Amino acid sequence: GQALPAFPEDERTEDTKVKGCVSQVWVVIEPDEGRLTLRGDSDAHIVKGLIALMDRLYSGRTPDEALSIDPKEVLGRIGLSEHLSPQRSNGLASMVKRIRAEAEALKA
């Protein structure tokens, strides 16, 4: 999460805020030549790390590729899911839901 680029203050809006997270979380997903680019930030260090993982998982992918990813399976494979509290897991699920909704919208 420390390697995430700075997130502009003017993008910390209700539209970019991820609902369902205990921490403050902002995520922006934009198209870049038909591929997703994810940027985000949080006031919690652990969540910044989760944003960085979601960036690695989804950025650079087409909407179809992004929608085919099973993040639970990937995070289970690396053993992360067993180390997240229920609140963090719910927040992560909200982030994934938001990313998938944006991918669906970009696909259309």
Report the catalytic residues: 21
Cα radius of gyration rounded to whole Å, the chain: 13
Q: Phi and psi at residue 45, in whole multiples of 5°? A: -60, -40
DSSP 8-state assignment for residue 20:
T
What would the two tokens of residue 39 be? 């940027």
User: Strand ranges (DSSP E) for the chain?
Assistant: 25-32, 35-42
d(CA 38, CA 68): 17
